[in-house]
Structure formats: C-alpha cells, structure tokens
Amino acid sequence: MRLLPLLLFILVPLAELAILIKVGDVIGIGATILLVIGTAVLGVSLLKRQGLAAIERARSSVDAGEFPVESVVDGVCLLIAGAFLLTPGLLTDTVGFSLLIPAFRLKLAHWIFNKFKDSDGVQFSTFGTGPDMGPGMGQGAPGAPPRSPDQRDGIIDGEFEDMDDEPPENKLTGPDASDPKSSPWRK
C-alpha cells in the first residue's frame, strides 16, 4: 500500500505519454497539442462555473444553519478535478471531466464514505444537543437513540463550590491580602 503513490507517480505519466504518442500518430502532433490545450481550457471554464455554484450552495447551507457537507465534498472533488484538468494529458483529462459530473461525484463520495466507515481506524461521531449538555455536545443526530453516560467520551462530571460565598473570616483581608505567599494554599 505504501508503494501505491510511487507507482502512480511513475505509471500515470508513462501511460499519458503512451496515449499521447498513439493519438499523435492517428490525428497528428498539432491536433494532439490543440486537443490537450482545448480540454484544459474547456475543463477550467466548466470548473469555474461549478465551483462558483458549489460556493453558493455552501453559503446557502450556512445561512440556513446547516453544515455544508455536500458543498465541501463537491469543492474537494472540484479541486482534484482542476488539478487533473490542468495536468497535460488525456488520461488525467478523462478523470478530471468525470469529476465534473455531479452524479459521479455523489457516487464517489458515498463510496469513499462507506470505505472510511467500514475501516477500523476511522471513528465517526455526531453532534447534537441533550438535556444535560450544551450545543454541539454528545446526544447524537436528531432521531438517533440517546447515548448512555458511559458513551460520552471526553465529558468529565464534577462538582464545584463558589468561593465568593465564604464567610468573611475565611477570606484574606488586610495588608496581606495582595501577597500571594500569604495564601493558605501556599507554604
């Protein structure tokens, strides 16, 4: 698995080169260069339009008080699509154009989410509000069963006592009150 990025780094440019040579033999060198430049220009214009639409959807979601999950996924896919479209080559252009198709992006996002969810190393948690917690803490998504107290990781129950309600005889007063060494807690 560690060798996969290295193999892709070596094999993708070799595959691109082989495809460009083959296409160049069929339609000519000039037409191949124009095809590569044309796909990059077309891809960037489509990317700009879809990127602006994704930003607008994200803004609408945030204004409605929702987390813009779909817009974030679209934005990441469009960022990757832009990198592939700007890379010279027909194989990377094919991948980039496929990422510009919203239905393909949605299926890809669901596939990746399910892969992460099924893996052992990734843990998903939801946020919500509960009767004993502030906003964004622990009871889970709306409609989800409530979490039991032992499932609230990271929450520490405790008690406190307001020290301002002490009787005056326990408070430091007088000239030693500002001296931190005169505190009963320091020796």
Q: Could you read off the pLDDT of 155-172 as tens digits, one per residue?
A: 677 776 766 655 555 555
DSSP state of 144: S
> What pLDDT is attached to residue 98?
92
Q: Are 7 and 55 spatial neighbours (Cβ–Cβ below 8 Å)?
A: no
First to last CA, the chain: 59
Position 151 in a domain: no
Q: Position of tokens 């817009």?
A: 71
Q: Read off the DSSP letter of residue 48.
A: H
Is the CB of residue 59 less than 8 Å from the CB of residue 53?
Answer: no
pLDDT value at position 146? 55
> Is residue 57 domain-resident?
yes
Q: Which has more confidence, 12 or 141?
A: 12
Please report which confidence band the pLDDT of residue 147 belongs to, taking 50, 70 and 90 as the band edges: low
Q: Highest mean pLDDT range out of 63-72, 145-154, 178-187?
A: 63-72
Q: Is residue 76 part of a domain?
A: yes
32-57 mean pLDDT: 89
Angle between helix 69-86 and 90-99 (nearest 10): 160
The answer to whether the CB of 59 falls within 8 A of the CB of 51 is no
Whether residue 92 is contained in a domain is answered as: yes
pLDDT at residue 26 tops 90: yes
Does the pLDDT of residue 84 top 50, yes or no? Answer: yes
Q: Domain range holding 72? A: 24-113
Residue 159 falls within a domain, yes or no?
no
101 part of a folded domain:
yes
Task: Check whether 138 has a pLDDT greater than 60.
Answer: no
Confirm if 78 and 54 have CB atoms less than 8 A apart. Answer: yes
Residue 178: inside a domain:
no
User: Against a cut of 0.75, is the pTM above it?
Assistant: no
Task: Tell me the pLDDT of the chain averaged across its residues.
Answer: 76
Asked if residue 173 belongs to a domain, the reply is no
| Count of structural domains, the chain | 1
Contact of 75 with 68, CB cutoff 8 Å: no
